[in-house]
Chain A
Amino acid sequence: MMRVIDLLKRINDGVALMAGLSLLACVTLILVEIVVRQLGMPLGGTDEISGYVMAITTSWGVAYALTERAHVRIDLLRTKCLPVGKALMDCVAILALAGTAITVAWRGWPVLSKTLATGAKANTALETPLWIPQVLWWSGWVWFAVSAILIAAASLLLLYQRRYDDVNEIAGMGDEL
């Protein structure tokens, strides 16, 4: 089980790097836009593309933050608990997260399916076919749901085996930073 989660971590590390590189690409695009705008030949559309990059980076990045245990949690009560209590709270938290992730992915599908049905294009001069950014965006949330389900299943199993330290390792709280 821990091996599956390790693999998940490695995949999500790759995801983070891809997302990070797309940020850098976006930085480059914006720099080019600023320069050519000063020369009086604007590209136009960088705002629109930045928006898509943000939506996609967010939807894929949440899975990375999950395996890194970076999502903010309030640990007032948790710190006062014994290891078994901590492990229980971690399981509750990851189950809540998995449920939410599944809901968002499920409710996100109609957005994409409507776009596919109407052939929607952005309401701008660029006329980006919206299915392209939305496929990338929606698949990010689906991946978040998949990651969450895997971690939740692993945590419950580890809880059952009373391996509380391991629960903390995959679903506990990282450093505050």
Chain B
Amino acid sequence: MIKFTTFGLLFFLALSIPVGIVLFLLAFGIDTFYSPFPLMRGLGQVVWSSSNSATLIAIPFFVLLGEILVRCGVATRTYAALNKWVSWLPGGLIHANIATATLFSATSGSSVATAATVATVAMPQAEKLNYDPRLFSGAIAAGGTLGILIPPSINLIVYGFLTESSIPQLFLAGLLPGILMALGFMLATVILCMIKPSLGGPRQLYSISEKLSSLGDLLPILGLFGVIVGTIYAGWATPTEAAAVGVAMALVIAAQQRALNMELLLQSLRGAIRTTSMVMLVVVGAYVLNYVLTAAGVSRALQTLLRGLDMTPLATLFVIILIYIVLGFFIETLSLMVATIPIIVPIIVDLGYDKIWFGILMIILVEMALITPPVGLNLYVVQSARKSGKFSDVMVGCIPYALIMLLMVGMLIVVPQLALYLPSTL
């Protein structure tokens, strides 16, 4: 049954059947061949109950918010402002890419959206200033992944939803590792560009007054982050409600930028429904597959297998991390999470690890999956914004940042407090 599931998954995916549909097909297959229950009689009930969720509505809200911000021109201005502050470092504009990605991560729930935003505003500059495309685009693809680690985060919402852990706690837990990782990305850039200056571009120096006058352009994004996170931790709103507040605030920002019109609103709504439905087909499919896997005993079989290895908790953890890295090459991230959480998290909890902590660890591994070929959505997003050049440029450019991610995983294992300190102060 495990073989059937694995091969079926790879085979259907290779056929280019939509990922969400593949999950349904596997569920049908397992039900037909292996299940002692006539599970499909309950299919409708599972589909209804999994999508009837006030927690998940935060997904369209955060997507909508991002759509509005990109379309109203805030992204471009933020990039220009950050450029003035950070591109004196060795590596130049590459730091602006990372900083913009970090800042947008604080308002966007999705890594793909973050990478797309930064790529749209940064790519024209790269060509103008004649940057080495590799590190430049790698920094966008990798920086964009921070979108799901720094709150708000759609993936953390899904993790909290599936493991019944507190979403505000998960959000807080992601903040410090997110900032550390952004700093790590910049440090790696500085080191690489000091060793080999041709990897970066010209360092750009701006006067203090230029820097100060650009600060105004950062206000919308910082304000938005403050409102979203502030309402949650002031106890005024749940994460879902904060997302709704964020949407309203984004509309206010668009109006203040004099960009709010019917066209912008309708385009943003279309974009939000498109992305949300795409994500939700995968989430619902994963929910159905999980229902079938558990009922048919696959999850228990896998758990027994892992427990039967009879290793120390740390060794088991390493095996699990390895599994995620390998699966991360091939599987789209949300599917990767929803398909594995119900199996892996109970084992992790059994081993005595913290659920919130593991959520953050898993998110970093999922971020890595976003920039590892062949299935790495952020690679494609950046490549499609480049319009020319080799795909492998982006891939190679991501390698140093992927190493920083591994380093971060190691640091989290050694110092769990990096994730757990902030939630404990709540």
Write out the residue numbers on chain B whose beta carbons fall within 8 Å of the beta carbon of A31: 244-245, 248
Q: Count chain A CB atoms within 10 A of each CB in B12, B48, B247, B381 and give the residue with the most.
A: B48
**Hey, what's the 0/1 contact readout for A78-117 against B, CB within 8 Å counting as 1?**
1000000000011011001100100110011111000000
A61 near B244 with CB under 8 A, answer no
Nearest neighbor of B374 in chain A, beta-carbon distance: A76
- Interchain Cβ contacts within 8 Å, total number: 201
Q: A145 on the interface (CB 8 Å rule)?
A: no
Dominant SS at the B interface? helix
Write out the residue numbers on chain A whose beta carbons fall within 8 Å of the beta carbon of B241: 30, 33-34, 46
Write out the residue numbers on chain B whose beta carbons fall within 8 Å of the beta carbon of A150: none
Q: A24 on the interface (CB 8 Å rule)?
A: yes
Nearest neighbor of A105 in chain B, beta-carbon distance: B44
How many angstroms from the CA of A108 to the CA of B273 in the assembled complex?
22
Q: B24 on the interface (CB 8 Å rule)?
A: yes
Write out the residue numbers on chain B whose beta carbons fall within 8 Å of the beta carbon of A108: 43-44, 47-48
Question: Which of A's residues lie within 8 Å of B, judged by CB?
Answer: 13, 16-17, 19-21, 23-24, 26-27, 30-31, 33-34, 37-38, 46-48, 50-55, 57-59, 61-62, 64-65, 68, 70-78, 89-90, 92-93, 96-97, 100, 103-104, 107-111, 133-134, 137, 141, 173, 175-177
A75-B16, A109-B44 given; name 9 further pairs at CB < 8 Å. Answer: A20-B269, A27-B244, A47-B240, A55-B53, A73-B19, A96-B15, A96-B21, A100-B21, A104-B47
Report 19 cross-chain contacts, Cβ distance below 8 Å, ordered by A residue: A17-B266, A19-B273, A20-B269, A23-B273, A34-B236, A46-B241, A54-B52, A54-B56, A57-B276, A58-B276, A61-B273, A65-B273, A72-B20, A73-B16, A73-B18, A74-B16, A89-B16, A110-B45, A176-B384
Question: Which of B's residues lie within 8 Å of A, judged by CB?
Answer: 12-21, 24-25, 28, 40-41, 43-45, 47-48, 51-54, 56-57, 60-61, 64, 112, 116, 231, 236-237, 240-241, 244-245, 247-248, 266, 268-270, 272-278, 280-282, 284, 332, 374-375, 377, 380-381, 384
